[in-house]
Amino acid sequence: MINSGPPPAGAENEDIDLVRRSQAGDSRAFDALVTKYRNRLYAMVFQMVRNEQDAWDLTQDGFFKAWKSLDKFRGQSSFYTWIYRIVTNVSIDWIRKRQLRPEGEFDDSVARTDIDPTADVTPKGGVSPERALERHELPDRIDAAIAKLTPEHRAVILLKEIDGLQYHEIAEVVGCSIGTVMSRLFYARRKLQTLLKDLHEKF
Amino acid sequence: MKNFEARYHEWLDGALSPAEAAAFERELAAPPHGIDPTAERSAQAALGDLLRRHVAGAPPMPHGDFFNSELQRRIAADAKETQPAAAEPAALPAPGWLQSLLGRLTLASAACLLLGVVGYRAFVQPQLIDPTQRPETEYLASVLETKTATSAVSATSFSLPAEKATVLWLSGTEHIEVEAFAKEDPSDEPNEPDAL
Say what the pLDDT of residue A122 is: 44
In angstroms, the CA A89 to CA A151 distance is 10
Is A3 a member of any domain?
A: no
- Return the higher-pLDDT residue of B107 and A160: A160
Q: Identify whether residues A57 and A119 lie together within a single domain.
A: no
CA dihedral of residues A189, A191, A196, A200 (deg, nearest 10):
20
Domain boundary residue, one of A64, A98, A132: A98
- Do A40 and A92 lie in one domain? The reply is yes
Note whether residue A106 is domain-resident.
no
The domain ranges of chain B are: 4-56, 130-196
Higher-confidence position of B184 and B172: B172
Instruction: Inform me whether the C-beta atom of residue B47 falls under 8 Å from chain A C-beta atoms.
Output: yes
Assign residue B63 a region (left: φ > 0; alpha: ψ between -120 and 50; beta: otherwise): left
CATH code of the domain containing A60: 1.10.1740.10
HEC letters along chain B: CCCHHHHHHHHHCCCCCHHHHHHHHHHHHCCCCCCCHHHHHHHHHHHHHHHHHHHHCCCCCCCHHHHHHHHHHHHHHHHHHHHHHHHCCCCCCCCCHHHHHHHHHHHHHHHHHHHHHHHHHHHHHHHHCCHHHCCCCHHHHHHHHHHCCCCCCEEEEEEEHHHCEEEEEEECHHHCCHHHHHHHCCCCCCCCCCEC
Residues A172 and A195 in one domain: yes
Distance from CA of A76 to the nearest CA of B (A): 25
> Closest approach of chain B CAs to the CA of A164, in angstroms?
10
Euclidean distance between the first and the last CA atom of chain A, given in angstroms as a whole number: 20
Inspect the interface and report whether the beta carbons of A42 and B48 lie closer than 8 Å.
no
CATH of the domain at A175: 1.10.10.10
| Closest residue to A186, CB basis, from B8, B49, B52 | B8
Give phi and psi for B190, each to the nearest 5: -65, 135
- Residue A69 is given by DSSP the state T
Nearest-angstrom CA–CA distance, A5 and B55: 12
Angle at Cα A100 formed by Cα A196 and Cα A79, nearest 5°? 85
Nearest to B59 among A35, A52, A203 (CB): A52
pLDDT at B140 over 80: no
CA gap A193, B47 in Å, rounded: 7
Judge whether A9 is closer than 8 Å to chain B, CB to CB: no
Q: How large is the greatest C-alpha to C-alpha distance in chain B, in angstroms?
A: 151
Residue B178, phi then psi, degrees to nearest 5:
-65, -35
Instruction: Decide: B161 and B132 in contact? Cβ < 8 Å.
Output: yes
A67 within domain boundaries: yes
Among candidates B44, B60, B72 on the partner chain, residue whose Cβ is nearest the Cβ of A189: B44
A116 Cβ partners below 8 Å, 6+ apart? Answer: A123
Residues A67, A118 within the same domain? no
Same domain (yes/no): A91, A164: no
- Output the tens digit of pLDDT for each of chain A's 203 residues: 444 555 655 667 788 899 999 999 888 999 999 999 999 899 889 888 888 999 999 999 999 999 999 998 988 888 988 999 999 999 999 998 886 555 444 333 333 334 444 444 444 444 555 555 555 677 888 888 888 899 999 999 989 988 888 999 999 988 899 999 999 999 999 999 888 877 756 55
User: Which residue in A160, A155, A148 sits closest to A94, CA to CA?
Assistant: A155
pLDDT of amino acid A167: 92
- Count of Cβ atoms closer than 10 Å to residue B70 Cβ: 16
Same domain, A128 and A59: no
List B154's β-bridge partners, or say none: B171
Interchain CB contact of B86 with A (< 8 Å): no
Half-sphere exposure of B97 (CA within 13 A, CB side): 0
Domain that holds residue A190: 111-200
Q: Can you tell me the ipTM of this complex?
A: 0.71
Per the structure, the count of domains in chain A is: 2
Regarding whether A157 and A77 lie in a shared domain, the answer is no
Same domain assignment for residues A74 and A118: no
B3 touches chain A (CB under 8 A): yes
> Best interface-test mutation with B: which of A186, A194, A197 has the largest number of B CBs within 10 A?
A186
Domain membership flag for residue A183: yes
Tens-digit pLDDT profile for residues B4-20: 888 999 999 899 999 99
Residue A141 forms part of a structural domain: yes
Separation in Å, CA of B43 to nearest CA in chain A: 7
Q: Which residues contact A96 (CB under 8 A, 6 or more apart)?
A: A151
Residue range B53-100, pLDDT digits in tens: 877 767 788 999 999 999 999 999 988 887 765 555 544 454 555 666
Q: Which residues in chain B are closer than 8 Å to A42, comparing Cβ atoms?
A: 60-61
> What are φ and ψ of residue B157, in 5° steps?
-130, 150
pLDDT of residue A96: 87
State the Cα–Cα distance between residues A35 and A31, nearest whole angstrom. Answer: 6
In chain A, residues 136-165 whose CB comes closer than 8 Å to chain B: 138-139, 142, 157-158, 161-162
CB burial string B77-103: b at 16+ within 10 A, e below = eeeeeeeeeeeeeeeeeeeeeeeeeee
Residues A53 and A133 in one domain: no
| Alpha carbon B121 to its chain's center | 34
First vs last C-alpha separation in chain B = 120
Specify if A4 maps to a domain: no
Identify the DSSP state of A176.
S
Report d(CA A138, CA B26) in Å as an integer. 34
Residues in chain B closer than 8 A to A178 (CB atoms) = 6
Confidence band, pLDDT 50/70/90 cuts, at residue B178? low
CA dist B185 and B179 (Å) reads 10
